[in-house]
Each structure stands twice: as structure tokens, then as C-alpha cells.
A = this chain, B = another copy of it.
Amino acid sequence: MDDRTLAATANTERMRSLRRRFLINGTAAVVGAAGTARAAAPLGAVEREVPADATKIQGYPLEDSSYGSRSQFETEVRTRFKTATPASSWTMTPLQNSIGIITPSGLHFERSHGGTAVIDPTKHMLYVHGMVKQPRKFTMADIRRFPSLSRIMFIECSGNGLTEWSKPTMKTVQGTHGLTSCSEWTGVPLATVLREAGLRTNAKWLLAEGGDASVMTRSIPMAKALKDCLVAYGQNGEALRPEQGYPLRLIVPGYEGNTHIKWLRRIEVSDTPFMTREETSKYTDLMPDGKAVQFSFEMDAKSVITSPSGEMQLDGPGFLEITGLAWSGRGAIRKVEVSTDGGATWKTAALQGPVLPICHTRFRLPWRWDGKAAILQSRCTDDTGYVQPTLGQLIAARGGALNGPIGSIYHLNAIQSWQVANDGKVSNVHHY
């Protein structure tokens, strides 16, 4: 599957080259062919002439009305995993470039079963019905008039790392771990919306349904819905991005990504789960004995070193900062340990504050590379006391072979190993 990343990189290079050709006097590229203009947009930059000395020439003026873009020198992109069709696919966040805990909205991973729906927010409705006292419908204006709250939280796809069960497959951390991203989400507590409708006795579950082409559905336990779910309209200080469910998505803190229903249009209250396709034929976890575990909602604690990571090239011996991300669907990260000798010895990394529950937590550890081969690993512990397992422990418990007849596909949260070769080249290996 490595060729996907390579192809994407080559494609990016080609696009940049195309854009450069059309650079006109420091203004945005403007061209007569649809393909090229489309290609320029995803990189999110405006090409400008680069002076030899920026102190000797006036900078470009501020615009009367603007929504800024990134520098033309910044090129990291989400890359798509080459599923059969791009309308049911996923793209991955370039975690190798990540800094801090916030994921830029333009680089948040995407997963959809029917492409990205285009919805006019002035026409969008959220229906609440089923075992309620009074069925209700809400416009976006209705939703936004309720009291809101914001929380910085990660969302991780349960399929994050699914290629890595049997052998190290993806070359970069974008490929192995890029289905987790972290944003400041803003919305209305789902409890508030449900209270408006009034729950009947025995209301134990609800169905959340998306308004996209796949009409994606998942069942959520009512206890979770009332505890901390959000009907979210905001991401990183502005409206949700289209691919994150604009104008409305469900946030189910710490649960697997597919439960965070995007383009949310309907909530049906019931006394039992709905047993939709997404929770019967899909998103269950097949165990070694052939039985499937259903409703494995919570994302287990997980960590990964984002730098140095696969495909990076160390400059040479000397000081480096090892840094990465840790997160848990069950609460806050209590500890991250880092090993540079394949798990023989461990050192406790510093955690970047604030350490928030159900949120990416950045860890850092100074390291002096001696120029010899090394295997880098990180292992986190969350505030329930759960310790991130080795891949061996995970396979022993759940099986796990993507192409085998049985075994786990989802919820791979094993310790990741990056091998540093003598020449400083970093690569994805299995070591457990």
C-alpha cells in the first residue's frame, strides 16, 4: 500500500510544478484549464513572487475582506487511501508534520461512505422522534440558540492502523496513524436537545442518522447521549468543515469515529439498539474464536512518536527531540514512556499541558542519538490505569490479520516501532 503515499507525493509535486508555471507577477495563478485550477486549490496557498530580500520591497498589502491561506512553501496534505471509489474512502492527517495538539481543519482526516454531502444550512433540519413525549424538529438557528459548549477533543477512526496487524505496511505515521485528528468542537449538549423532546420511560438507545448519500447510521446508548455528547456546529472557532459534517455532526467523546454521525439530520429514540448495517456487518470486532464483539465503542489508549517517524532522515548524531501524541477515549493521559532500545528500557516523557481528557496530548523527550541503529517506541497509560499493549498482546487477545479469515480489523492500538538505521533513515517495523 506504500505506493499510495508515493503516488500522492508525486501528484503533489506535479501540482506544485503546474502551479509554478502559471505564476503571474506575484498574484494568484489564473489559468484557462479547469484541471489546473482545481489542482491548485487543495494545497490552500496563494503563489506569490519571492523577493531576494523582503526588507527591500513592500510586502503584499492587506485585503479589505479576507480569509487567509497558508504559505506557498507549506505542502503537507491529507493523502487518500486508494479504496475502489473515492466516494467511499478516507484520507489521513500528515501527523509527521504535526506540532502541538490542534489539527488544522484543512488537514483533519476524512472518512465518508458516500462522499461529502453539500447541504444548505438554512434548509437543514434535525428531527428528534421515537420514544419521546413530543417529536421535534430544529433548524440550525434553533440549535444555535441553545446554550453551547466547546471542548478540544480527538476523533479517531476505529480503522486507524488496520493495515498494520500482520506486517509493517505503511511507510509513514500518516499511513499508520493518520486517522486521528484533534479540534476544538463547539455545539449543544445532546441532553439539551433530547430534553426539548422529552424522553419516555425505557428510552435506552438512540439512532443517529446522517443526511449524506450513505445515510450513515449508528446506535448510541442513552446513558452516553445524556452524559457528554454534543450536537456540534463548530470546529476550531468556525463552522464545521464540509467533510466533517457541515452544518451539524454528532460528537460522541471517546467513541470510535464512525459514531460521530456527520450531516446529522435525525435522532430516533428507542429501548434497544437498531442493529443497522454499520453495527452488524461492519464495525464489529471478530475474535479468534469466530465470535464478533459488537459495540466496541471506546477508543483504547494509544500513542505514537510523530518525529522521528517513518521515512524521515536524521541529520546525524547529536541532540534530537522525540515527540509524539497520546490519547485515550476513556479519559486523560497520565503517563507516556519512550524507549529508544526497542522496549528494553523506558524513560518518562514530558507531557505538554494542558492535559485534557479525550484529547491529543503531546509528549516530548530529549534524546542524543549516538549514530547507531535504534528502535523508538512510545507507550502510554491513561487515567483509568490502562497501559497501551504491545502488538503481540493485542494479537493474543483479539487475533488480527487483515486478510485472514478471522481476527480483528479495527481498534489496533498497539505500541508502534520506528527503526532508526545507522545512516539515520527511519522506517516502520514490527518489534514486539
Q: Which residues of B contact A66 (CB under 8 A)?
A: 42, 77-78, 80, 91, 106, 110
Supposing A87-B59, A115-B60, A362-B150 touch, asked if A241 and B71 sit within 8 A by C-beta, the answer is: yes
Q: Does A293 contact B (CB under 8 A)?
A: no
Chain A, interface size category, equals 35 or more
Contact of A237 among B27, B46, B99, B319 (CB under 8 A): B99
Q: How far apart are the CA atoms of A356 and B356 in the complex, in Å?
A: 12
A348 to chain B, nearest CB (A): 15
Supposing A99-B148, A108-B68 touch, asked if A34 and B42 sit within 8 A by C-beta, the answer is: no
A349 to chain B, nearest CB (A): 12
Q: How far apart are the CA atoms of A324 and B48 in the complex, in Å?
A: 37
Taking the full assembly, how many copies of this chain does it contain?
2
Q: Does A69 contact B (CB under 8 A)?
A: yes
Q: Which residues of B contact A238 (CB under 8 A)?
A: 70, 74, 76, 97, 99, 104, 107
Within 8 A of B (CB), among A88-140: 89-91, 97-108, 110, 112, 114-122
Q: Which residues of B contact A340 (CB under 8 A)?
A: none
Chain A: interface secondary structure? loop
Q: Which residue of chain B has its CB nearest to the CB of A97?
A: B238
The contact sample of 10 A-B pairs, CB cut-off 8 A, is A8-B64, A11-B65, A30-B37, A59-B112, A66-B91, A67-B70, A68-B107, A68-B110, A107-B237, A146-B321
- Using a CB–CB distance below 8 Å, which chain A residues touch chain B? 7-8, 11-12, 15, 24, 26-28, 30-34, 37-38, 41-46, 48-51, 54-71, 73-74, 76-80, 82, 85-87, 89-91, 97-108, 110, 112, 114-122, 141, 145-150, 184-186, 211-213, 215, 233-234, 236-243, 246-247, 263, 315, 319-321, 323, 352, 354, 356, 362, 364, 366
